[in-house]
Amino acid sequence: MDFVSIRIITGDIVRLVEFYEQATGVRAVWSTEDFAELTTPSATLAIGSTRTVPLFAPGSSRPAANHSVILEFLVEDVDQVRQNLTGVVTDFVNEPTTMPWGNRSLLFRDPDGNLVNFFTPVTPAAIEKFAC
């Protein structure tokens, strides 16, 4: 089994795709007007409009209702990325902070309120964990 992607359902797909393109620097590939993917070397962030929900099961997903998942992106320098996000992100939850497990993390919310963590490993153990 391979973990392939995570999908966000949104009521405004154009807004959310544009946000993630600006925040990550990754261009989305649109399959239809209701579905786009931002693919990185290790994972894919899929974004679907609410019109895709009935294809799975009507009412099975609600946009902007996540309160338990954090989307995480490994970045080269979280402090530099923080500066680049000025004007893109409007809801920073915390500024870059070194966590007890060795990552320097920046937590913010996307336009739908989903939590996003950009992080850089800074301790030897964390650096080793994410070494390619």
- Domains, the chain, in order of start with CATH, read 1-59 (3.10.180.10), 66-132 (3.10.180.10)
89: DSSP letter = B
User: Which residues lie across from 36 on neighbouring strands?
Assistant: 30, 47
The predicted structure's pLDDT at residue 131: 86
What is the tens place of the pLDDT at every residue in 69-123? 999 999 999 999 999 999 999 999 999 999 999 999 999 999 999 999 999 999 9
User: pTM (2 decimals)?
Assistant: 0.94
102 token code pair = 């060795």
Give pLDDT tens digits for 37-81. 999 999 999 999 999 999 999 999 999 999 999 999 999 999 999
Reduced to 3 states (helix: H, G, I; strand: E, B; else coil), residue 18 is: helix
CA distance 130 to 121: 7
